Structure 1
Amino acid sequence: MLTKHTCKNGLRIVLEQIPSVRSVSMGIWVLTGSRNESKELNGISHFLEHMFFKGTKTRSAQDIAEAFDSIGGQVNAFTSKEYTCYYARVMDTHKEYAFDILADMFFNSTFDGKEMQREKKVIYEEIKMYEDTPDDIVHDLLARASFGEHPLGYPILGTEEQLASFDEETLRAYIKKHYIPENIVISVAGNVDSSFLTFVEDLFGSFQYDNHETPIEKPTFIGNQIQRSKDTEQAHICLGYNGFSVDDAQIYSMIVMNNVLGGNMSSRLFQEVREKQGLAYSVFSYHTSYLDSGLLTIYAGTGKEQLSHLRETIQNTVQTFVEKGITEKELNNSKEQLKGSLMLSLESTNNRMSRNGKNELLLQRHRTLDEMIQEIDTVSDSSVQDVIDFVFKHDYSTAIIAPEHT
């Protein structure tokens, strides 16, 4: 059973009771990420996420880590383009203790100067590690090729130069502007009852920052190409196509289409690029939905001498897709796979917490399992063809990381 409650300060709580389990997953979801940053502040959302773990007025960073380890719990956080999440998963007997620590981190982090300098070094290393992983960073290059100077084109980690400028005052100003109650959803799923709502509201229901309304600018898909030379064994390529926002009526048709194109081992791209031609070990496609836009990405990595052949094969596969559409077998298989994946995902309290948190944060609504299955069932070959025509009959963006002489 899903319960939704809005506190007097505007903060929302969603709680799903699952009496058959003994765990509780909890997350603090904040509607801010790298998209909400200026160029000068790029990377601050991710840096702030790190700093919430570095000590409060009464707990050191080690105390926070030991507190969760001592109860066999898990605690972590992540930053995306549009939201940040701080979450924990614990046994039901420790839910109040765990959530109290999350609240302490959220409200009472000290942002100590020495801890900030130490954590900046950690993120510098994270950036270097990312730079050494071309099959990851090529996706960041694709975002820049697709959206240019729009914040959706910024890297989530920022740069060393930008990180160096952040101090306590910068962090607290960013919190006051973006960590306002209206931008926050507390999502809880597991063996809890409605009394836990009161516990959460007591901690989060009365704080207030001034609501600085900061409207986001819709990006324009620009379809550029970016190529970077790097001493790698493989060449890595991403192709990007204009996609759909999270609440677009065609989103389920898009998901079905992506599944057929490159979403699994039976997909067109996997079968053609890997199984038939042996051009790549890794080849796939995925669709990313934002509040007002989306991006379909095709990725593959291959030996440097095969890059041209790989790109041509991908483009030919897409062209056949445009001209002939999908088969009835592909349509039915894709829909059944999506329904199966959806049902299996609901067996995890963490997945349910995440689904509820994102739905409330981005959509302000929650579909039942039956409603979602019905949405998938209504996808037809003609609705998928409409998506194919929208996505592939326009310009696309390209990002390539390859050795210099390729």
Structure 2
Amino acid sequence: MINKYTLDNGLRIVTEKIGYVKSASIGIWVNVGSNNENDETNGLSHFIEHMLFKGTKNRKANEIAEEIDNIGGQMNAFTSKECTCFYVKVLDENIVEAVDILSDMFFNSLFKQEEIDKEISVVIEEIKMYEDSPEDLVHDKLTEIIFNDSPMAYNILGTEQNLKTFTTEKVLNYMKDKYSPHNTVVAVAGSFDEESFVNLIKEKFSKWQNKFVEHVDKDSHYERKVVGINKDLEQLHVCIGNKTIGRHHKDYHSLLVLNNIFGGTMSSRIFQEVRENRGLVYSIYSFVSNYSNSGIFSIYAGMSYDQVEEAIRTVLKEMVSMKNGKITMKEFNRAKQQIKGNYILGLESTSSRMSAIGRRELLFNEILYPEEVINSINNVKFEDVVKIANELFDIDKLSITFTGNLNKHKGIEEIINEVLGEEYES
């Protein structure tokens, strides 16, 4: 049973009791991510996530870590394009201590300039780590293309140039402007006493004053591009993608079924054909990144420079095959079963349950029960998948990003454009 409570200041609490576990996962979800930022503040949402672990009025940074370890808990946080989440998983007997630590970090962090300066260096190293990962690099570049003129195009980590401008004042002003009870959800899943937990959250959060925070979802104008990034790499790394629908769209689960059939698993079309049958790549898969109102469907592949033409041509042929409805019922039913299986297995984790109810309430202001999700997957029809394939696999709308040694291996962009310009319809 999932329950929802709303405090007088607008803070929402969502709870789900799970009778067969002895732990609880608790998360504070704030509707603030990189899509709330501008050119000057890009990276601040993620930076604040880091800074909440750097000491409060009541605890030094090492004391936060030690107290969580002392109760055998696990604490972490993450920032996405649409939200920031601070969460902890503990034994049910330690919930009071966990909430005390979490709320102390949330309300009493000091944001000392000396700690900010140290953390700027840490995040710059994090940016460099991602830039050294070709897989991340090509996907980030594809994201920039698809969301080109909206804040959704921003890198969540920000830029080195921006990070060096962060000060205590800038951090505090951003939190004051963007953090509010009305755009925050506290979620808990696992073993806990319902009444005691709600009262505990009231005690810690009810004095937080509400204010309206405008959240503008600016849509982007997408134009297909082919973009290469020169890096001294032994392989060429390629990302092929298109703009697609959001999580709340009626065809969302049809898209998941399509992705599963096309490249989401080791039994998928492109893994079997491009890797296993033809041996053109070592790694290839497709995935969807869905947000509230839009998303990205992308295919990643790593290959030798001399295999790029045949590999991309084979992927495009598989796209056309699916557009033409050449999907077996075995593939279709297997995909639905895999999605249901993965979803149900995920429900056995209190962290996953907490994330599901917290994110859903935060972004869509609704409670969605597992039975409803399973029904939505079961109700996906064969023709729904073919319809999505025809919308998504329009070769004239596909963008491609790639990275590798473009000085040594010239003409890659010309090869890609030539392959994209070929006739595939049958």
Corresponding residue for residue 65 of structure 2: 65
Corresponding residue for residue 111 of structure 2: 111
Q: CA deviation at 1:3?
A: 1.1
Corresponding residue for residue 402 of structure 1: 404
Structure 2 residue 291 is the aligned partner of structure 1 residue 284? no
Structure 2 residue 113 is the aligned partner of structure 1 residue 123? no
Question: How far apart are the structure 2 equivalents of 1:403 and 1:124?
Answer: 24
Corresponding residue for residue 83 of structure 2: 83
SS in 2 for 1:401: strand
Q: CA deviation at 1:209?
A: 4.5
Letter in 2 for 1:395: K
Segments ≥4 residues shifted beyond 4 Å: none
Question: How far apart are the structure 2 equivalents of 1:389 and 1:63?
Answer: 55
What is the count of residue pairs matched by the alignment?
A: 406
In 2, are the aligned partners of 1:56 and 1:108 still within 8 Å (CA)? yes
Question: How far apart are the structure 2 equivalents of 1:9 and 1:211?
Answer: 11
Letter in 1 for 2:198: L
Corresponding residue for residue 206 of structure 1: 207
Question: How far apart are the structure 1 equivalents of 2:259 and 2:136?
Answer: 20
Equivalent residues in 2 for 1:349-388, closer than 5 Å: 349-388=350-389
Give the 3 Å change call, closer, same or farther, for CA 112–388 of structure 1 in structure 2.
same
Q: What does the per-residue CA deviation read over 1:267-288, in whole Å, with 9 as the maximum and x for residues that have no partner?
A: 1011111111112222111111
Corresponding residue for residue 242 of structure 2: 241
SS in 1 for 2:286: strand
Letter in 2 for 1:261: F
Deviates more, 1:392-401 or 1:186-195: 392-401
Q: What does the per-residue CA deviation read over 1:357-396, in whole Å, with 9 as the maximum and x for residues that have no partner?
A: 1111112222222222111111111111111111112512
Question: How far apart are the structure 2 equivalents of 1:318 and 1:39?
Answer: 37
SS in 1 for 2:248: coil
SS in 1 for 2:5: strand
Deviates more, 1:348-357 or 1:359-368: 359-368
Q: TM-score, normalised by structure 2?
A: 0.93
Identity of aligned residues (%): 43
Equivalent residues in 2 for 1:293-372, closer than 5 Å: 293-372=294-373
Q: CA deviation at 1:352?
A: 0.3
Equivalent residues in 2 for 1:212-227, closer than 5 Å: 212-227=213-228
Letter in 1 for 2:146: S
Structure 2 residue 191 is the aligned partner of structure 1 residue 191? yes
Corresponding residue for residue 139 of structure 2: 139
SS in 1 for 2:281: coil
Q: CA deviation at 1:173?
A: 1.4
Q: CA deviation at 1:216?
A: 2.1
Question: How far apart are the structure 2 equivalents of 1:383 and 1:322?
Answer: 11
Q: TM-score, normalised by structure 1?
A: 0.97
Structure 2 residue 175 is the aligned partner of structure 1 residue 172? no
Question: How far apart are the structure 1 equivalents of 2:120 and 2:326?
Answer: 49
Corresponding residue for residue 33 of structure 2: 33
Q: What does the per-residue CA deviation read over 1:106-130, in whole Å, with 9 as the maximum and x for residues that have no partner?
A: 0000000110011111111111111
Q: CA deviation at 1:222?
A: 2.2
Question: How far apart are the structure 2 equivalents of 1:334 and 1:216?
Answer: 32
